[in-house]
């Protein structure tokens, strides 16, 4: 018998599903993220308490939150702070060559860009021309003019990206297209959900990870993330990748310091899964976001 949306996730999450589904159906909890302000200067490690101060809380995209710096760039990008956890897990250093493989709409790219120094560079890619146009607008509007030379954009199929940029990057974020169950609930499209489609997406997600591996320098760090709550698109994708590519990759063991992990647990409700981490909205109201950190070994 074909599983429907509610029965499938009820079986997965058990007694937790009733509360989780209620929070997934509630308005998304967001903040004003100011990556280039001196106040929140994204040394992301330990920055979550500042980001989550009461003055930063918003629950929609209010126009009144927009303000410009003295340099002229917009300061307040509205986003779920849970989305910055994969950026933190990537552990970007100022000199890194960074790839954001599926970058639109751009919040994570802003977080990555804010970590780079003069020797570092961010390449943000998206397969959709329209989304790349939006991505360019976000990066240009929300970063100072002098930072613009530190990023470039591409409009390529992410699954084939390794052929264009082999062994170029020291840090790679794969924020993969996923089922986005929260969006399905909000748009009233849960009747269109199917496990078959999730498994099809998982195949593409795995292919994106393989492309990232081709792009990675030796010892490069790859972070895989989705906004799905389904292990089929999360841990199972990572499990397959670690198994199939075991001669070239391993699970990263140094994802967070103990103090950072504790701060994330307290502020956004970080939970550990078998092969990664997940943030679900029935704890602190943020998410969902899943991510896993992987190290290229050879």
Q: Could you report the per-residue pLDDT of 150-175, keeping only the tens digit for each? A: 999 999 999 999 999 999 999 999 99
Q: Report the CATH number at residue 281.
A: 3.40.50.150
Q: Give me the percent of the chain exceeding a pLDDT of 90.
A: 73
**Per-residue confidence (pLDDT) for residue 64, from 0 to 100:** 47
Any domain includes 219? yes
- Give how far Cα 125 sits from Cα of 112, 118, 157, 163, 237, Å: 13, 21, 9, 14, 21
Q: Give me the percent of the chain exceeding a pLDDT of 70.
A: 87
Report the sign of the C-alpha dihedral through residues 158, 125, 261, 227, in that order: negative
Any domain includes 192? yes
Which comes out higher in pLDDT, residue 56 or 181? 181
227 is catalytic: yes
Flag whether pLDDT at 224 surpasses 60: yes
Average pLDDT over residues 272-297: 96
Across all residues in the chain, what is the average pLDDT?
Answer: 89
d(CA 148, CA 174): 22
Any domain includes 32? no
**DSSP calls for 49-75:** HHHTSGGGEESS--GGG--B-TTS-B-
Q: What is the pTM of this model?
A: 0.93
| Half-sphere exposure for 21 (CA within 13 Å, toward CB) | 16
**Per-residue confidence (pLDDT) for residue 258, from 0 to 100:** 87
Flag whether pLDDT at 138 surpasses 90: yes
Any domain includes 28? no
Model confidence at 48, pLDDT cuts 50, 70, 90, reads low
Q: How many structural domains comprise the chain? A: 1
Model confidence at 69, pLDDT cuts 50, 70, 90, reads low
d(CA 8, CA 268): 26
Token pair of 172 as six digits: 């790679």
Any domain includes 46? no
Give the list of residues 6+ apart from residue 285 with CB closer than 8 angstroms, or none.
23, 26, 29
**What backbone torsions phi and psi does residue 119 show, to the nearest 5 degrees?**
-90, -10
- Cβ 223 vs Cβ 277: under 8 Å: no
Task: Choose the weakest-confidence range: 142-146, 218-222, 276-280.
Answer: 142-146
**What backbone torsions phi and psi does residue 99 show, to the nearest 5 degrees?**
-120, 125
Any domain includes 11? no
- The residue from 32, 102, 178, 227 that is catalytic is 227
Any domain includes 167? yes
d(CA 37, CA 93): 19
Token pair of 70 as six digits: 């003295």
Angle among Cα 204, 208, 211 to the nearest 5 degrees reads: 140
pLDDT in tens, 6-40: 999 999 999 999 999 999 999 888 888 888 875 44
**Per-residue confidence (pLDDT) for residue 32, from 0 to 100:** 80
Peptide bond just before 288 cis, omega within 30 deg:
yes
Flag whether pLDDT at 43 surpasses 60: no
Which one-letter DSSP state was computed for residue 81? G
Any domain includes 47? no
Burial of 253 (C-beta count, 10 Å sphere; 0-12/13-18/19+): exposed
Average pLDDT over residues 117-135: 96
Average pLDDT over residues 197-205: 97
- Cβ 66 vs Cβ 37: under 8 Å: no
Structural domain of residue 223, as residue ranges?
A: 81-296
**Per-residue confidence (pLDDT) for residue 40, from 0 to 100:** 43
**Per-residue confidence (pLDDT) for residue 39, from 0 to 100:** 44
**Per-residue confidence (pLDDT) for residue 97, from 0 to 100:** 98
Flag whether pLDDT at 65 surpasses 80: no
**Per-residue confidence (pLDDT) for residue 94, from 0 to 100:** 94
């Amino acid at each position: 018998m074909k599983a429907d949306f509610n029965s499938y996730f009820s079986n997965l999450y058990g007694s937790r599903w009733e509360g989780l589904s209620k929070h997934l159906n509630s308005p998304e909890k967001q903040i004003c993220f100011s990556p280039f302000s001196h106040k929140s200067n994204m040394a992301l490690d330990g920055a979550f308490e500042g980001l989550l101060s009461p003055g930063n809380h918003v629950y929609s995209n209010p126009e009144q939150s927009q303000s410009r710096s003295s340099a002229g760039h917009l300061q307040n990008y509205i986003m779920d702070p849970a989305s910055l956890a994969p950026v933190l897990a990537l552990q970007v250093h100022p000199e890194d060559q960074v790839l954001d493989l599926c970058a639109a709409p751009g919040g994570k790219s802003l977080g990555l860009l804010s970590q780079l120094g003069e020797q570092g560079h961010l390449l943000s890619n998206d397969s959709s021309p329209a989304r790349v146009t939006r991505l360019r607008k976000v990066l240009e509007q929300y970063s100072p003019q002098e930072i613009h030379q530190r990023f470039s954009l591409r409009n390529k199929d992410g699954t084939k990206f390794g052929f264009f940029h082999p062994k170029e990057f020291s840090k790679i974020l794969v924020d993969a297209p996923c089922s986005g169950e929260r969006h399905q609930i909000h748009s009233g499209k849960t009747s269109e959900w199917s496990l078959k489609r999730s498994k099809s997406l998982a195949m593409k997600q795995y292919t994106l990870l393989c492309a990232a591996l081709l792009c990675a320098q030796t010892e490069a760090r790859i972070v895989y993330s989705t906004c799905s709550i389904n292990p089929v698109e999360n841990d199972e994708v990572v499990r397959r990748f670690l198994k199939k590519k075991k001669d070239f990759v391993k699970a990263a063991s140094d994802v967070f310091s103990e103090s950072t992990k504790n701060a994330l647990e307290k502020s956004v409700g970080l939970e550990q899964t078998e092969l990664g981490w997940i943030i679900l909205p029935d704890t602190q109201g943020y998410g969902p976001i899943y991510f896993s950190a992987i190290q290229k070994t050879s």
